[in-house]
Amino acid sequence: MPKLVYILNGPNLNLLGKRQPDIYGSETLDDVEGDCAALAAELGVETRFLQSNTEGQIIDWIHQAREDGAGIVINPAAYTHTSVAILDALNAFDGPVIEVHISNVHKREGFRHHSYVSLRADGVIAGCGTEGYRLALRRIVSLLD
């Protein structure tokens, strides 16, 4: 059975490729999912790619990953900067966690410079566009090997 990597996406990322291409690029979230699935096949892992606009749903998926997930790639979007609850859920997950941001949050408003999730993440990728997801997946797999 291939190892399962959760790829979790927070609020408004369903709009990817549809608004603000100057910040987030022109790929849609479906495109990113396809890219990750193709890379996962190459790397010999399975991915479960999910997006929610609701904090509780993201927490429930992290709990699910405790049961069947080997690693988590997470772009918590705005919850990055606000959610102790997502941090607590990630702290209850034993496998590797990589945090992804499409934009370079450190070049943006001050409130985006702090991340609760970074207190748990084993690595953080920011400002690499949607390629960041593939970089994160590669890193998860090398941490799992």
- Contact letters (x/-) for ligand CA2, 90-119, by CB under 6 A? -----------xxx-x------x-------
50 is a site residue for ligand CA2 (CB under 6 A): no
CB of 44 to ligand CA2, least distance (A): 27
Residue 88 assigned as binding residue: yes
Stretch that binds ligand CA2, among 13-21, 42-50, 51-59, 64-72 (CB under 6 A): 13-21
Query: How is residue 50 written in tokens?
Result: 């999910």
Look at residues 91, 63, 42, 85 and name the one whose alpha carbon lies nearest to residue 50.
Answer: 63
Place of tokens 């102790």: 84
∠ CA 69-26-123, rounded to 5°: 35
**Binding of residue 24 to ligand CA2 (CB under 6 A):** yes
Q: Does 20 bind ligand CA2 (CB under 6 A)?
A: yes
Residue span binding ligand CA2 (CB under 6 A) among the ranges 9-17, 41-49, 55-63, 116-124: 9-17
Strand 123-126's sheet: what is its strand order? 46-51, 4-9, 71-75, 97-101, 123-126
Three-state DSSP class for residue 126: strand
Q: Is the alpha carbon torsion for 25, 70, 48, 60 positive or negative?
A: negative
| Side chain identity, residue 39 | L
**Whether 101 is catalytic:** yes
Binding site for ligand CA2 (CB under 6 A): 12-13, 15-16, 19-20, 24, 75, 77-78, 80, 101-103, 105, 112
Q: What residues are designated binding site?
A: 75, 81, 88, 102-103, 112
Residues annotated as catalytic are 24, 101
